[in-house]
Amino acid sequence: MKVINLSRNTILADKAAKAESPFARLVGLLKRKSLDKGEALILSPSSGIHSFFMRFTIDALFLDKTGKVIAILPSFKPWRLSSIYFSAHTVIELPEGTINLTQSQPGDTIQIK
């Protein structure tokens, strides 16, 4: 799957995977040692994340049902708990630095295909 920031005309990930089951969303990236450039994990539905037991820092984008970015978490470190964004429907976990590199920000429109 691809994750594209339509507002910035940039590709956030071209090797994205989707975690749709409750167990897959709970485990998320816990078994991974890193996320390589171009990789992403899409958590849907989701309105908050944790990084307990993770071994690396990530970036995260929170999207509403229309794909609009409602919150960003650049450099989300291990052993943290995010806020709950009640209007969020999807969270995209990306390699650290992706938000800065692509200049993604709240209000941008993201397409997942």
The domain ranges of the chain are 3-112
Higher pLDDT, 72 or 25: 72
At 30 the pLDDT is: 75
One-letter amino acid for residue 107 of the chain = G
Q: Which pTM was predicted?
A: 0.93
Query: Which tens digits make up the pLDDT trace of 44-96?
Result: 999 999 999 999 999 999 999 999 999 999 999 999 999 999 999 999 999 99
Phi, psi (degrees; rounded to nearest 5) at 11: -95, 120
Two tokens at 42?
């899409």
Query: How would CATH label the architecture of 3-112?
Result: Sandwich (2.60)
What is the 3-class SS of 97-111, one letter each residue? CHHHHHCCCCCCEEE
**For residue 107, is pLDDT > 80?**
yes
d(CA 4, CA 19): 18
At 25 the pLDDT is: 78
d(CA 37, CA 94): 8
